[in-house]
Homo-oligomer: A and B are copies of this chain.
């Protein structure tokens, strides 16, 4: 069992939904990073519940306590950083029958197949979406470090159900495209409650979510994430490229069912002459003029924006009765899930995508940088 990823920058996530605490240990942060806690809190707030009609009411502050890894000046000191977030909502008896009747779409059934009753079930245990909070702590620090070095990462909701936002201008790598993208990233950083580029898209998506909730149902979505300013030459061929690294980490976010880079699945319908990115000389040297590749060729960055999309499935917890089984009695059983749940998990997963992107890219920079020319 491993809840760790990364090579030089290694992130381990621990905790269960109802254990005493959740948290992360990060090894390999460069020393001297002074964590801006206010900024980290604002970043964490974006994934916290309670920010609008699409999420459950806020219950916990979810602020991390850094129990190790910082020196007396509050800067990373080279030793492993451990952040702990207390669970105030621990151990309740409400979930006892989850061991017995697995919820469709959750990991209750597979955990039982693996651990035969030893798994910690309440609230989803170690599989809970709550575990993305420590991922955001680690990723939030990586984001701060990267931004100081000119790497900017942002994500938005590209779609919820049938409602779509306009995409990032990241397929156009001319100066014009880059400027548009820059404006888009700045716009997203203005603290908007709902992460879309277009306001009308936000309204349409909120409507999709409302309809799902009213139908005692949930709905999925697509997140688009981009990183600008990545130096060229970062990554590695074959199995340690930036795509491998981001993909491996992204599938650690609960509910992610797909990932694509650049044109992604659309490229399968294109001709080579449409999909290849031509090179031109620019004031900053040779560069691809389009970015259908999504910022990487052969696993190594081109210098164009790293661009990917994540498919987020609809929240598995829905209020409708569902078909399940009673594993102790070996018979079919109808299941009704009580309590409030997000009718769409995608909005709160947007900062998590940014966090994962930052951690994977920073690890690539630290582990597989462009070699220094003698």
Contacts and interface: CB of A to CB of B under 8 A. Distances in A.
Copies of this chain, count: 4
Contact of A68 (B16, B289, B302): B16
A348 interface: no
A320 B300 CA distance: 25
Given A127-B237, A162-B269, A251 B299 contact: yes
Closest 10 pairs (CB-CB, A-B): A107-B298, A258-B260, A113-B233, A79-B126, A278-B323, A218-B272, A110-B300, A31-B118, A104-B276, A105-B276
Interface residues of A, number: 158
Contacts of A126: 68, 77-80, 237-238
B3 A278 contact: no
A1 B78 contact: yes
B238 A244 contact: no
Contact of A4 (B235, B239, B262, B274): B239
A4 B121 CA distance: 28
A25 B84 CA distance: 12
Contact of A66 (B20, B159, B162): B20
Given A2-B240, A161-B269, A327-B286, A14 B69 contact: yes
Interface string A173-217: 000000000000000000000000000000000000000100101
Interface in A286-335: 286, 288-289, 293-294, 296-303, 309, 311-318, 320, 322-325, 327, 330-332
A260 B311 contact: yes
